[in-house]
Structure 1
Amino acid sequence: MAFLESPRFPDKIAFGAVVGPVYSTVVTTATGGAESRVITWSQARNRYDVGRRVMNQSDTDALYAFFRSVKGRGHGFRLKDWTDYTVTAANGALVTTSAAGVFQLAKQYIAGTLSEARNIRKPVAGTAVLYRNGTPISAGAGAGQYALDTTTGLATFVADSSASISAIALGSATQVTLSSALAGVAVGGLLSLSGLSGADAGVLNGQSFTVSGVAGAVYTLAVSTVGKIITSSGTGSKYPQPSDVLAWSGQFDVPVRFDTDDMKMQIVDRNGPSGDLLVDWGSIQLIEIRT
């Protein structure tokens, strides 16, 4: 089993797909008719039907070859969902992850006070633009810039600024002293740590922590290190802060697979003097997959 970044499912055939999101809900009905419902998926999986129509010879050949190439349900691949493939700065969000400076591209769907943030893991290369407080950000290796992995939708930022850790005091709150203060890291902000040593250094390394106090270059972090063995010699870094508004715009594909290993087609006619076949395809289902 593999995910094939290329080729993408033929766009011309995808254009005519029947599309819809699918959720998973466990409904229990009591004898009196009252219901309890448990939502088991936080995000929908889209389902597509690319069959249920007559296709000409070239489209038939393309679909037939693609189905054989991905081995039916065997491999995942990209699909352009013509009903929903763009993101604007108004609904494109960047969601924090557990790794410092790494954000997941997402799209916000809003209905009144309700919303769902859909993870976008397959942005289309060359289309994404990231914004910080309304200003486009450049991709690159400079301070505050980023690198985007178009196979995962993860944007990894370069730190705005960094300073070496000269001391660390462990306890119910952890106090970190830097060689110099980092401008813009205030109470309620985030300080990211890396390079610390000791048996329990993994508790802090590669993560960001909320700052509960600042005194010059001394930062108190809301993380308990009671009983831990961690020694200074690492680095404190500033990445985008909670006060920053991060957004993105661009295009994205949906990761899918065929939901059948059995494809059926029937010749229904020839297309005029050229003799091209017209082929009737039954229901051919695709289902969105988690990657």
Structure 2
Amino acid sequence: MAEFLEQRISAAIAYGSSWADEYEVRITRTAGGGEYRKLVHPYPVRRFRLIYRADRADVGAKVKNLYDRCYGKFSGFRVKALDDFTTAADGRSAPTKDDQTLLYVSSGVYQLRKEYGKDQAGLAIGRPFRTIFKPVAGTVVVAKNGVLLSSGVSVDTTTGRVTISPAPSYPADVITGGCQFDIPVRFDTTVDVDQLAPNHRQLNNVELVELLAP
């Protein structure tokens, strides 16, 4: 597995940038026009298409230097999704201790995550969720059975795992929490620099793809 740079790419993007979540669905069409669809996994995979406009001297500092340190598509890094960077339902409000139910990993250890599509009835297979591997330091709040835990909680900001001591009783105790988070990504294209003027540059279609196992 490639190394991961615990660094966030510059957020100084221009209007025209975009993002989208996609789901891995395999579709087989029959001769009669029917379809067989298989959901490969329940996780959304986010793609970003970024546009940067900058002074010539800033291009390297904002994007190109990171691209080089990552060896292009080889290594991962962090990105902040401006429309979805907290565990709140709207993706932007301050996180609270009641936002999400944490996933039990082992005695005393829980994984941060965010469930999507809560406002409407879902399929019988449950709602999709994103595993939060990269919480922002100092933003994680955790509760046991609705009561905020002010001590005995440690957070690994490189994996998104929360350790609680003493260990709660599983499955009797319900552990919930919230945080701000970044999304682990890698470059999915080269970084092409357009020369708009002697001292102005534009980076078009810098594509990033989410890493499901960073």
Shorter-chain TM range is 0.7 to 0.9
Return the letter of the residue paired with 1:133: N
Which of 182, 200, 209 is the matching residue for 1:278? 200
After superposition, give the CA deviation of every residue in 1:181-231 in whole Å (9 maximum; x if it has no partner): xxxxxxxxxxxxxxxxxxxxxxxxxxxxxxxxxxxxxxxxxxxxxxxxxxx
Structure 1 pair 14–85 and aligned structure 2 pair: CA distance change class (3 A): farther
SS in 2 for 1:286: strand
Return the letter of the residue paired with 2:65: A
SS in 2 for 1:64: helix
For 1:105-124, list aligned pairs within 5 A. 105-109=112-116, 110-114=118-122, 115-124=127-136
After superposition, give the CA deviation of every residue in 1:155-198 in whole Å (9 maximum; x if it has no partner): 112235xxxxxxxxxxxxxxxxxxxxxxxxxxxxxxxxxxxxxx
Query: Percent of counterpart pairs with the same letter?
Result: 31
For 1:1-291, list aligned pairs within 5 A. 1-5=2-6, 7-13=7-13, 17-51=17-51, 54-57=53-56, 59-61=58-60, 62-87=62-87, 88-89=95-96, 90-97=98-105, 99-109=106-116, 110-114=118-122, 115-139=127-151, 145-159=152-166, 239-260=168-189, 262-270=190-198, 277-289=199-211, 290-291=213-214
- The 8 Å contact of residues 194 and 202 in structure 2, kept in 1 or not, is answered as yes
Structure 1 pair 78–85 and aligned structure 2 pair: CA distance change class (3 A): same
Structure with max Cα Rg: 1
Distance 2:185 2:15 in 1: 15
Distance 2:84 2:56 in 1: 28
Q: CA deviation at 1:14?
A: 8.6
Distance 2:27 2:58 in 1: 41
150-159 or 108-117, larger mean C-alpha shift: 108-117
Q: TM-score, normalised by structure 1?
A: 0.63
Distance 1:75 1:138 in 2: 36
Q: CA deviation at 1:16?
A: 6.7
SS in 1 for 2:32: coil
Distance 1:147 1:18 in 2: 34
Distance 1:37 1:252 in 2: 32
- The 8 Å contact of residues 134 and 157 in structure 2, kept in 1 or not, is answered as yes
Runs of 4+ that moved beyond 4 A: none
Q: CA deviation at 1:58?
A: 5.0
Runs of 5+ in structure 1 lacking a partner?
140-144, 161-238, 271-276
Query: Which residue of 2 is the match for residue 211 of structure 1?
Result: none
Distance 1:131 1:15 in 2: 38
Runs of 5+ in structure 2 lacking a partner?
88-94
Return the letter of the residue paired with 2:121: T
Distance 2:42 2:156 in 1: 24
- The 8 Å contact of residues 92 and 248 in structure 1, kept in 2 or not, is answered as yes
102-111 or 123-132, larger mean C-alpha shift: 102-111
> CA RMSD, aligned part only?
2.1
Q: CA deviation at 1:15?
A: 8.5
Distance 2:21 2:135 in 1: 19
Q: CA deviation at 1:147?
A: 1.7
Q: CA deviation at 1:45?
A: 1.2
Q: CA deviation at 1:18?
A: 1.1
Distance 1:32 1:135 in 2: 56
